Chain A
Amino acid sequence: MNSQDYEQIQSAPQLRPMARGLRYLSAATIDLPLLVFVLLLCCIGLSALYSASDGDIDLIRRQATIVGVGVAIMLLVAQFSLRLVRRLAFYLYLGGVALLGLVLAIGVEANGARSWLDLPGLPSFQPSELMKFIIPGVLAWYLAAQPLPPNPWRILVAGILTLVPAGLIVLQNDMGTAMLVVMSGFFVLLLAGMHLKLVAVGGLLVILASPLWYIFVALEHQKSRILSYINPYTDPAGAGYNIIQSQIAIGSGGIYGKGFGEGDQSRLDFIPESNTDFIFAVIAEEFGLVGAMALISLYVLLMLRGLQIAINARNIFARLLAGGIVLIVFFNVYVNMAMVIGLLPVIGLPLPLISRGGTAIIAFFIGFGLLMAVGANARKSRLPQN
Chain B
Amino acid sequence: MSRRWHFRDYQAERRLFKRRVALVSSVICLMLIILIAKLAHLQVVRHEYFSARSDGNRLHVQYVPPQRGLIYDRSGALLADNLPVYNLTVVPEEVGDLNATLKYLASLVKLTPDDIETFQNQLRRSRVPYSSTPLRYVLSEEEKYRVAVNSHRLPGVNMEPQLMRHYPFDDLAAHAVGFVSHINQQELDALNETEFENYGGATHIGKTGVERTYERLLHGQVGYETVEKNNRGRVMRVLERTESIAGRDIGLHLDYRLQMVAEEALGDYRGAVVAIEPETGGILAMVSKPGFDPNLFVTGISNREYSILVDDEINTPMFDRSTSPYPPASTIKPFLGLAGLDLGLVDYEYTILDQGYFNLPGVSYRWNDYTMRTAIGGGHGETDLRKAIYQSCDTFFYDLGYRMGIDAMHNFMSLFGFGANLALDVGYARTGVLPSRSWKMETRGEPWYPGDTVNSSIGQGFMLATPLQLATAASVIANEGRMVRPRMLRSVDGEPWPLREEFPAPDVLLENPDYWRYIRDAMVMVAHRPYSNVFRDYGTAYEAIARADPDMSYQIAGKTGTAQVVGINQNVRSSSEIRVSDLNTDHALFIAFAPAGHPRINPKIALAVFVENGEHGSTVAGPVAKKITDAWLLDILRLDLSIQPEPGGEPTQRSPAEVAAVNE
Contact = CB atoms under 8 A, between A and B. Distances in A.
A92 interface: no
Interface string A306-323: 010011000010011001
Contacts of B17: 148, 191-193, 310-311, 316, 319-320, 323
Contact of A289 (B10, B39, B51, B58): B39
Given A147-B9, A252-B53, A316-B13, A341 B21 contact: no
B54 interface: yes
A284 interface: yes
A264 B24 contact: no
Contacts of B18: 311
A83 B229 CA distance: 59
B295 to A, nearest CB: 41
A269 B35 contact: no
B636 interface: no
Contacts of A300: 32
Given A147-B13, A264-B58, A190 B38 contact: no
B449 interface: no
Contacts of A267: 230
B231 A268 contact: yes
Contact of B42 (A147, A190, A247): A247
A312 B77 CA distance: 96
A307 B26 CA distance: 13
Nearest to B31: A334
A98 B1 CA distance: 36
Contacts of A245: 57
B151 interface: no
B53 A248 contact: yes
B44 interface: yes
A43 interface: no
A250 B43 contact: yes
A72 interface: no
Given A264-B58, A268-B236, A284-B39, A307 B228 contact: no
Contacts of B51: 251-252, 254
Interface string B7-19: 1111001101110
B35 A343 contact: yes
Contacts of A190: 20, 24
B350 interface: no
Given A191-B21, A289-B40, A310-B21, A334 B58 contact: no
B23 to A, nearest CB: 8
Interface in B48-107: 49-51, 53-55, 57-58
Most chain A CB within 10 A, of B21, B31, B46, B54, is at B54
A316 B11 CA distance: 11
B612 to A, nearest CB: 62
B58 A269 contact: no
B47 interface: yes
A191 B19 CA distance: 9
A343 B39 CA distance: 9
A184 B20 CA distance: 15
A264 B54 contact: yes
Contacts of B24: 187, 190-191, 327
B232 interface: yes
Contacts of B32: 296, 300, 334
A362 interface: no
Contact of A248 (B16, B25, B34, B54): B54
A267 to B, nearest CB: 8
Contacts of B14: 319
Nearest to B3: A147
A249 B54 contact: yes
Interface residues of B, number: 45
Interface residues of A, dominant DSSP: helix
A191 B10 CA distance: 15
A338 interface: yes
A146 B5 contact: yes
A265 interface: yes
B36 interface: yes
B310 interface: no
A72 to B, nearest CB: 30
B37 to A, nearest CB: 10
A65 interface: no
B28 interface: yes
Interface string A235-259: 0000000000101111111110000
A251 B55 CA distance: 12
A317 to B, nearest CB: 11
Nearest to B49: A251
Interface string A189-211: 01111000000000000000000
Nearest to A247: B42
A292 B58 CA distance: 24
A67 B124 CA distance: 54
B57 A268 contact: yes
A265 B54 contact: yes
Contacts of A264: 54-55, 57-58, 228
Given A247-B50, A269-B231, A307-B21, A289 B44 contact: yes
B44 A255 contact: yes
Given A147-B8, A190-B20, A268-B228, A296 B35 contact: yes
Most chain A CB within 10 A, of B10, B16, B20, B34, is at B20
Nearest to A54: B230
A149 B16 contact: yes
A213 B34 CA distance: 26
A3 to B, nearest CB: 30
B422 to A, nearest CB: 61
Contact of A343 (B34, B53, B55): B34
Contact of B5 (A147, A192, A307, A341): A147
A129 to B, nearest CB: 23
Interface in B222-239: 228-232, 236
A293 interface: yes
Interface in A274-296: 284, 288-289, 292-293, 296
Interface in B123-166: none
B21 A254 contact: no
Contacts of B36: 293, 296
Given A147-B8, A268-B231, A270-B231, A288 B54 contact: no
B595 to A, nearest CB: 73
A330 interface: yes
A342 interface: yes
A151 interface: yes
Given A268-B230, A270-B231, A307-B21, A254 B3 contact: no
A337 interface: yes
A191 B230 CA distance: 48
A105 B167 CA distance: 71
B16 to A, nearest CB: 4
A352 B508 CA distance: 98
Contacts of B10: 316
A251 B46 CA distance: 6
A271 B200 CA distance: 32
B485 to A, nearest CB: 59
A270 B57 contact: yes
B47 A251 contact: yes
Contacts of A288: 43
B50 A251 contact: yes
Given A147-B8, A251-B42, A252-B47, 16 more contacts: A147-B5, A187-B24, A190-B20, A191-B24, A193-B20, A250-B50, A251-B46, A251-B49, A270-B58, A289-B40, A292-B39, A303-B28, A310-B21, A311-B18, A316-B10, A319-B17
The 4 closest A-B pairs by CB, nearest first: A251-B50, A252-B54, A269-B231, A268-B230
10 contacts: A147-B4, A187-B24, A191-B24, A251-B53, A252-B50, A252-B51, A253-B43, A254-B47, A269-B232, A270-B57
Interface of A: 146-149, 151, 187, 190-193, 245, 247-255, 264-265, 267-270, 284, 288-289, 292-293, 296, 300, 303, 307, 310-311, 316, 319-320, 323, 327, 330, 334, 337-338, 341-343
